[in-house]
Amino acid sequence: MTYVNTVKMLQDTMRNNYVVGAFNIVDIVTMSAVIDAAKEKKSPVIIQTSQKTVKQLGYKILASSAKLLSQETDVEIAMILDHGTDPEIIKNCIYNGWSAVMVDGSSKPFEENIKITREIADIAHEHNVSVEGELGHIGGVEEHISVSDSNVRLTDPEKIREFKELSGVDSLAVAIGTQHGLYKGKVSLDFERLGKIMKIADFPIVIHGCSDLPEEDLKRIISFNPSKMNISTEIKHVYLNSYKDYLCNDNNNYEPINVIKLVYDNTKKLVEGYMDKFNSSNRY
């Protein structure tokens, strides 16, 4: 088990009715917290790295740390590049030890999205790296991805099989009204569309933009049994709020190790909570 790609991991969710959480880490402390949460909860988990994180920390540090921290555990741990739009970064992640990559060609026309995704999928599969694609255009702001409401395109359920077959992806992110970042005002999700997608799909479906969702909406998405749900913004908020809390409450005690521990503890607690909600705990 330990460090794996996402193929078997996500296929298992379809058979056993649970979701694997994918959590965007920002450094080695948050990576360690996510992996330790998986060990504690006996849950599979996916570490996600943005292109910005890759540029900041580098390929060797991220891949070596993920593999090292994944040792001596029975849980399955994968690491995916989230929203890969730069072909060179995607390829370098494949060559340097990521076990999965997401190819985000969602801003392109249907045929071009397929072409871009297929080119990467062929390379990735040669290296035993799994591939996630995206059909539809998810709104909001996430790292280098910024999509206004007017540019949101919800996924056409009738296109998902064609996209999967022609692009060669192992899993597919779909747009049903969730958004990256924090939600502003009432959340409006197209559950009818999600239901159609889940009836048609015989492969793993992914939902992005799951941070900050109202509890009722989160539970309802989970009830449709998608294979993977992404949590990013809440990790960022936990990270920075931990520093704020420390500096406000312990402003005379400048001890970096203490605030690092606070970041670790708060991140781990958040991730463990989602693992319980996703029903992925105690799978080993």
The one-character DSSP state at 127 is T
Say if residue 38 is exposed, middle or buried (CB neighbours under 10 Å; 0-12, 13-18, 19+): buried
- Whose CA is closest to 129, among 164, 162, 103, 97? 97
Distance CA 90, CA 172 (A): 17
Question: Tokens at residue 61, please?
Answer: 């540090």
Dump strand ranges (E) for 85-195.
Answer: 100-103, 130-135, 139-142, 145-147, 171-174, 179-180
Question: Does the active-site annotation cover 82?
Answer: yes
CA 140 to chain centre: 15
- Tell me the DSSP string of 185-240: S-----HHHHHHHHHH-SS-EEE---TT--HHHHHHHHHT--SEEEE-HHHHHHHH
Per annotation, catalytic residue among 82, 86, 122, 250: 82
Burial 90-99 (b: 16+ CB within 10 A, else e): bbebbeebbb
Please list the active-site residues.
Answer: 82
